[in-house]
Amino acid sequence: MPFKPISNILIIAGCLIFIAWFGVAILSFREKEKLATKRSLMLACLSALPFWITPILPDTVQSMWSTGLLALTGLFIGILFIPIRAKSDFVQNIPDSHCFDERETMFSRAELRPGSAEYDHYYRNHPGQKAPDDRFRQKPGLLSPDTQFFYPEYFSEARRLFDQIAARRDEVDGPVQLQKKSLSPAEATRTLKKKILEAGAHSVGITQLKPYHLYAVSGRGDRYGQPVDLSRRWAIVFTVEMDFNAVAYAPKAPTVAESARQYLNSGQIALEIAREIRSWGYASRAHIDGNYLLICPLVARDAGLGEIGRMGLLMTPKLGPRVRIAVVTTELPLTLDKQKPNFSVEQFCERCKKCADNCPANAIPKGKREILQGLPRWKINDVRCFTYWCAVGTDCAQCMRVCPYSHPNAFFHNVIRFGIRHFPVFRRFALQMDNVLYGKYPQPRSA
């Protein structure tokens, strides 16, 4: 029986494969992913079976079977983890001269009131936007009781949390202590990062402000139409995690309550950090929901916290887009974080399209990136997206829920994300396995 040692190796290999998939099933069960739990158990049995049947095969077949199975397994693993670098035409930087106008955003346009000077001025200069904008105005609106996903408890909670954020928007700036505290950039950076992480942030980074980070003109509230002149040089940006179980209900009511909760959470941290810096004698401003002078995802990307994906959101290494962002800008000298562009996100999003396929508003492009303002990028249809929000009453987050990057920060998922980052062939495999385990069109949980 010359092939008996090989047979024993295959049996052990089958046991290891079974244990690995069984572990995935346990993790999926804990994450309340019913479909993934069932399919992981099925894969545990099916993938281990070819290894386990080796000893019962006839001797004449066993040798060929063992050799072939070992060869195929080795070939599969070898191909999966080929450390090649795929070519990319990815362009990350936006020209420094470019600035976005906040009045172009849907949040600004939603605040325009017919008959007001701002309303008349905007649509006089953008007549093509009036018809599509009128369509979202005909919908009940975000958190309205007449919307599709109205749920009294969650909508009431979300409204209360958003009201708390709105009540603190005047606290984003304030008087500065006259006497400056003596701090080195390294010491100040270390102290602030520690405070932010201890307050519950998931990640934090520091970058220098660039013109394209800032809005050229403000478009919200009493700032409407005012040029943005932010001379503060440094930006401290951080993310907070949105609860996985709450996002699993997207686009239903529990998710909008969690969204509001984390906007408030990130805002409170930003306000406290900005106040702390001002007490040290340095000007500082917090940028929180409804009171931004800049574009948070771009600042976060340049601080090394992630990349911008197909859906237009920041894709963080361990939580994907399942985060909220806040920024503090200051004149306090700090130590910059080095940004290492992660081209694997762009390459994965190019192939994945899961967010686009599952978008109920058909607002996320399914094709390749387009050249917009001189740069290749994906541009969501913000009118369709916002109109859907106004119809269902929530801020949707369907794209966030189905994104393969959004799985919890657990060992198994982090191994998959590591493989996606470093091995191009593995990216394709990971996408297919995500579809197998969770479905190509995963359904939200029932509220």
Please write the tens of the pLDDT for every residue from 279-297.
999 999 999 999 999 999 9
pLDDT band for 88, please (50, 70, 90 cuts): low
Work out the average pLDDT over 202-226.
Answer: 93
Torsion of CA 53, 56, 57, 63, to 10 degrees: 80
User: What is the pLDDT at residue 342?
Assistant: 83
What's the rounded Cα separation, in Å, for the pair 168 and 175? Answer: 16
CB 348 within 8 A of CB 427: yes
Work out the average pLDDT over 326-350.
Answer: 91
CB 328 within 8 A of CB 226: no
Return the exposure string of 19-53: e unless at least 16 CB atoms fall within 10 Å of the residue's CB, then b.
ebbbebbebbeebebeebbebbbebbeeebebbbe
CB 341 within 8 A of CB 308: no
What's the rounded Cα separation, in Å, for the pair 237 and 311? Answer: 20
Is the pLDDT reported for residue 217 higher than 90? yes
Select from 249, 408, 252 the least CA-distant residue to 322: 408
pLDDT band for 67, please (50, 70, 90 cuts): confident
pLDDT band for 339, please (50, 70, 90 cuts): confident
Strand partners for 375: 372
Work out the average pLDDT over 247-263.
Answer: 97
Q: Which segments of 84-151 does DSSP mark as H helices, in order?
A: 106-110, 117-125, 130-137
Select from 266, 267, 265, 286 the least CA-distant residue to 275: 286
Is the pLDDT reported for residue 93 higher than 70? no
What's the rounded Cα separation, in Å, for the pair 27 and 30? Answer: 5
Is the pLDDT reported for residue 207 higher than 70? yes
Instruction: Write out the DSSP string of 36-75.
Output: HHHHHHHHHHHHHHHHHTGGGS-HHHHHHHHHHHHHHHHH
CB 65 within 8 A of CB 3: no
The model's pTM is 0.91
User: What is the pLDDT at residue 235?
Assistant: 97
pLDDT band for 58, please (50, 70, 90 cuts): confident
User: What is the pLDDT at residue 5?
Assistant: 72
pLDDT band for 1, please (50, 70, 90 cuts): very low
In the chain, % of residues over pLDDT 90: 78
Indicate the angle between helix axes 411-422 and 4-30, nearest 10 degrees: 110
> Is the bond leading into 365 cis (omega within 30 degrees of zero)?
no
Is the pLDDT reported for residue 115 higher than 80? yes
Strand partners for 328: 236, 286
User: What is the pLDDT at residue 61?
Assistant: 83
Express each pLDDT in 73-87 by its tens digit: 889 888 888 877 655
Is the pLDDT reported for residue 90 higher than 70? no
Is the pLDDT reported for residue 385 higher than 80? yes
CA 101 to chain centre: 23
φ/ψ (deg, to 5) at 316: -85, 155
φ/ψ (deg, to 5) at 301: -60, -45
Is the pLDDT reported for residue 143 higher than 70? yes
Residues 6+ apart with CB under 8 A from 288: 165, 168, 169, 172, 263, 266, 267, 270, 271, 326
Q: What is the mean pLDDT of the chain?
A: 92
Return the exposure string of 163-181: e unless at least 16 CB atoms fall within 10 Å of the residue's CB, then b.
eebeebbebbeeeeeeeee
Work out the average pLDDT over 106-132.
Answer: 95
User: What is the pLDDT at residue 440?
Assistant: 95
In the chain, % of residues over pLDDT 70: 95
User: What is the pLDDT at residue 283?
Assistant: 95
Element (H, E) at 284: strand 284-287
User: What is the pLDDT at residue 155?
Assistant: 98
